[in-house]
Structure 1
Amino acid sequence: MLADLAEGDPVPAERELAVQFGVARETVRQALHELLVAGRIERRGRGTVVSRPKLTQPLGLQSYTEGALAVGRTPGRLAVTTEIVGATTELAAGLAIPVGAPVLHLERVLLADDQRIGLESTYLSSDRFTGLATTFDPTTSLYAAIRATGVRFGSATERIETALASPREAELLESTTAMPMLLLNRRSLDTQGVPIELVRALYRGDRIAFETVLT
């Protein structure tokens, strides 16, 4: 069916597809749901259209901006939250700072070609990156801003697993709580082994995939 349609073309109605292929509407409905989860089609308004291919994001020590540009997509970000919070026990351990120390929390919606791809929360030591809360433009690359302070990324540990979005997260991602998501947690260190950031990013499973090169 999709082989004859281009990106943005409307998908025929369930009734039409059922007649065309001689199957029950329930069978068509299940097939369309699988295509939706796979990112082959998407809801627009009250209709369904053919979506563009998933963004394939390389796994590596680079920013989302760098990864999107590397595969020919136009990255963007929408600021949701910029705040200073006290370090919880978990944040203090991850950033190697005292409990209660000031932490900069940045929450942003990640875009690719104006499509909402993910929701990213980043935590950094406010004492280490003094002034970043007031000088950083949240629509730009955070990694570029960090490097501009003289800090160099040395290594990172990432964990990726499946998850479901909360109602708030689903709304920010223009999705639903039933859509499968990819949850990424990352801890980045500088070249001296000192923690730089903790990141929690939730990605729409129908719009992004991750890949890496094994040697």
Structure 2
Amino acid sequence: MGTTQLESVQEPKYWHLKTVLNDALDSEFEVGEILPNERDLAARFGVARATLRQALEQLELEGRLQRRRGVGTTVAPPRMGVRVGPVANTWPGSTLDSWKTVGCVEAVAPHAIAALLGTGSDAAVHTVRRERVMRGQHVATELLYVPPASVPELSTMLTPANHAPAVLRELHTLELEGEDRSVELGSASAEDAKQLDRLPGAPVLVVTTRYFSAGRVAAASVATYRADTCRLTFGDSGALEVTHHEEESRQAS
């Protein structure tokens, strides 16, 4: 058989450099150590700075590096296993929930969320902002969208302090029939980046969840996780912890 087009494609320079850098991170650097600047790294490995940036971006995506505000590029600690969803199907804000509520407003939902909820594109919904902290580090931020039709008994006398607890309390009176989730790779918005101590555009994992009650979508959430820090796990078996990047490589081999 002849050589296919894909077989004839050479490995990109940045990909080879990524492998070399990955080995250097294991042998020469400690977790949290700041890497030399791009000019020095490019000179050391004999590559253009554009090629170096591509390799560094890929290593950041894979969780080996972190870009920190006012610090630079550092060697990332091992990813934490983060379980998505409690042991059993429950509403957000239950006793099994590991999120902290930080506020709530009533505002028009983004078009994509309005489509998920089946509300009008100009309809206001209750938007609860929550955050998740593990080992003292902010690992995720979430927006939970609840249409007024799902919480019809909600008091109209709401203050900033009791808005979110009241929405969650009313949501818990509904029978949760099920939920579904999707996960995709995304880039941190300016607001999410600020919450997660990342740079805008940094890689993130976006988990979208729909909660069903009475045969319809009663609420929807969009949770943004740090891709450099988190390993998302699902199901009831608990979070998988990987203690070191080298251990991960051994398990895969």
Q: State TM-score, norm by structure 1.
A: 0.64
User: Aligned pair 1:104/2:102, yes or no?
Assistant: no
The counterpart of 2:227, out of the listed 201, 205, 208, is 205
User: 2:101, 2:128 within 8 Å by CA — same for their partners in 1?
Assistant: no
User: 2:105, 2:127 within 8 Å by CA — same for their partners in 1?
Assistant: yes
| CA-atom RMSD in angstroms | 4.3
User: Aligned pair 1:189/2:212, yes or no?
Assistant: yes
CA distance in structure 1 between the aligned counterparts of 2:59 and 2:223, rounded to whole angstroms: 24
State the AA in 2 paired with 1:200. Answer: V
User: Aligned pair 1:42/2:66, yes or no?
Assistant: yes
1:55 corresponds in structure 2 to 80
1:161 corresponds in structure 2 to 184
State the AA in 1 paired with 2:232. Answer: F
User: 1:54, 1:208 within 8 Å by CA — same for their partners in 2?
Assistant: yes
Aligned 1:59-138 pairs, distance under 5 A: 59-60=84-85, 61=89, 77=100, 79=102, 81-85=103-107, 94-95=116-117, 103-126=125-148, 127-128=151-152, 130-131=154-155, 134=162, 136=164
CA distance in structure 2 between the aligned counterparts of 1:31 and 1:88, rounded to whole angstroms: 34
- Extract unaligned runs of 5+ from structure 1: 70-74
Higher alpha-carbon Rg: 2
CA distance in structure 2 between the aligned counterparts of 1:158 and 1:2, rounded to whole angstroms: 35
Following superposition, the deviation at residue 135 of structure 1 comes to: 6.0
User: 1:87, 1:98 within 8 Å by CA — same for their partners in 2?
Assistant: no
User: 2:35, 2:75 within 8 Å by CA — same for their partners in 1?
Assistant: no
User: 2:209, 2:222 within 8 Å by CA — same for their partners in 1?
Assistant: yes
- Cα deviation per residue 1:49-82 (whole Å; 9 max; x = unaligned)? 333222333344467899x99xxxxx56472x41
CA distance in structure 2 between the aligned counterparts of 1:31 and 1:91, rounded to whole angstroms: 35
State the AA in 2 paired with 1:37. Answer: L
Q: State TM-score, norm by structure 2.
A: 0.56
CA distance in structure 2 between the aligned counterparts of 1:32 and 1:153, rounded to whole angstroms: 44
% identical equivalent positions: 23
Corresponding pairs, count: 197
